[in-house]
Amino acid sequence: MKKANIHTFFSILQAANPHPKTELEYSSNFELLTAVLLSAQATDVSVNKATRTLFALANTPQKILNLGLEGLEQHIKTIGLYHSKAKNLLATCQILVCQHNSQVPRTREELEALPGVGRKTANVVLNTAFGQPTMAVDTHIFRLGNRTGLAPGKTPLEVEIKLLKRIPADFLLDAHHWLILHGRYVCKARSPECWRCSVAHVCDFKKKTTAP
């Protein structure tokens, strides 16, 4: 995708949704970290359903620890991979209490040192909680990076690096939210809805599919 088209692409997404937000429900940085950790290979809908009851009872690292493994699993058992996620969340809470005064750390290194927190999760927290211009490449963003021509790459990290280089600075803070939402509701994996896509005219995929 050409530089001018990239600017047009994000200008259109920005105009349609000036203040994009994650669809995960949270009211503190710790709740956000917990929700993102639980969201791996799960839908935001399923995570929100579980965390509504979990956070009503336990919304701090110490309160999560007080639940214990069995108690925590009861609250998140509707989420995929809940056994391993419960263990990781408890271990993360222990580190937060002992090393970070129960606060979510603000650096990538400290975040990625937490059990169950990889680069993508760290990027979400850095962006959404702390306003850093990071790019959390999930399955939607990886697909869009390749399909649209924004940032073709064979790995999530390659797509991430290219997106950070190619997206204009004015759009970078919110870009990851726009791309996720666009991939979730319009540029779908199996059946991209090009017929109703507001950025189809600057998308390389659309050009290919309409070429004679």
pLDDT tens for residues 98-115? 999 999 999 999 999 999
Q: In Å, what is the CA distance from 106 to each residue of 58, 74, 125, 159?
A: 22, 30, 8, 23
**How many degrees, rounded to 5, is the angle at CA 9 between CA 37 and CA 162?**
55
pTM attached to this predicted model: 0.89
Number of H helices, E strands in the chain: 11, 0
DSSP, residue by residue, 155-180: SHHHHHHHHHHHS-HHHHHHHHHHHH
Let me know: does 152 contact 169? Beta carbons within 8 Å: no
Where does the pLDDT of residue 40 fall: very low under 50, low under 70, confident under 90, or very high at 90 and above? confident
Is 29-128 a CATH 3.40.1390.10 domain? no
Where does the pLDDT of residue 209 fall: very low under 50, low under 70, confident under 90, or very high at 90 and above? low
Residues noted as catalytic: 120, 138
The percent of residues in the chain predicted with pLDDT above 70, rounded, is 97
pLDDT tens for residues 125-184? 999 999 999 999 999 999 999 999 999 999 999 999 999 999 999 999 999 999 999 999
Where does the pLDDT of residue 206 fall: very low under 50, low under 70, confident under 90, or very high at 90 and above? low
Every domain of the chain and the residues it spans: 3-19+134-210, 29-128
Is 29-128 in the same CATH topology as 3-19+134-210?
no
Let me know: does 126 contact 108? Beta carbons within 8 Å: yes
Placement of tokens 């979400």 in the chain: 124
Let me know: does 92 contact 116? Beta carbons within 8 Å: yes
Q: Which 3-state string (H, E, C) describes 69-118?
A: HHHHHHHHCCCCCHHHHHHHHHHHHHHHHHHCCCCCCCCHHHHHCCCCCC
Let me know: does 186 contact 29? Beta carbons within 8 Å: no
Is 3-19+134-210 a CATH 1.10.1670.10 domain? yes
Residue 194 C-beta-side C-alpha neighbours within 13 Å: 16
